[in-house]
Amino acid sequence: MNNSTNPSALRSKKEICDALIRLMDQYPYSEITVKQIVLEAGVVRKTFYRNFTDKDDVLEALLNEFIREYTTEMHSALDRSWVEVIFNFCVKNSHFAELLDRNDMLYLVLNKLNTVLPKMHDEADAMGVIPEEIFGDLDMTYIIPFNTGAMWNVVATWLHRGMRDDPKKIAADLRAYAIRLGNIATKRAAQRGAAAAPAEQSTVNGGNA
């Protein structure tokens, strides 16, 4: 993709990207051709290839803009529920998200997030906005993909169901589930500690005998 900031080039890229969106409203992505995009955008093939290599390159540009807007929203969400922010973002960008879902391409967003979110975490950590008690000295190599995959799968399910379920109810259920898991883990840890105490005491008494 041509990264020129020339106003004419930017306008052409937007026209081409918008054309692909309109075509995806009518046809499966796999059936769309560069010729169709050129005709829909009202540009010549030379202009298309001056800005993009193929239709996948156009989709890549749309995905990059989608992720750019997402990261902007997340950066502004430091004092809000990030689950709420994610759902609100998807509602605002529901048209593109629905087109991706229709073409079984939501995984492309996850691939992008797996690249972008570790960088966002490092930036937030450097700014000191992540409470130490959340991650502490844990290795984030797998924790970030775990969180990202779980949350995006929730969002993908919601999108696939036509976004008809209440995001607030989903978020409340997720919070309740996380709290229950934490309570169970705490309870079991206490039970293991209680069970280990008599054994330790027995060892001490046996050693004193």
Amino acid symbol at 203: T
Question: Is the model's pLDDT at 209 over the cut of 90?
Answer: no
CATH of the domain spanning 1-53, picked from 3.10.20, 1.10.10, 3.30.60, 1.10.3210: 1.10.10
Task: Give the confidence band of 2 by pLDDT, cuts at 50, 70, 90.
Answer: low
Residue 204 CB burial class (10 angstroms; 0-12, 13-18, ≥19): exposed
Torsion of Cα atoms, 199 then 200 then 201 then 203, to 10°: 90
44-59 in b/e form (b: 16+ CB < 10 A) is eeebbeebbeebebbb
- The arithmetic mean of pLDDT across residues 157-162, rounded, is 91
How far apart are alpha carbons 102 and 85 in whole angstroms?
23
Q: What percent of the chain has pLDDT over 70?
A: 90
- Global pTM? 0.80
Mean pLDDT of the chain: 87
Note the pLDDT tens digit of each residue in 26-64: 999 999 999 999 999 999 999 999 999 999 999 999 999
pLDDT at 158: 92
pLDDT at 84: 81
**Every domain of the chain and the residues it spans:** 1-53, 56-165
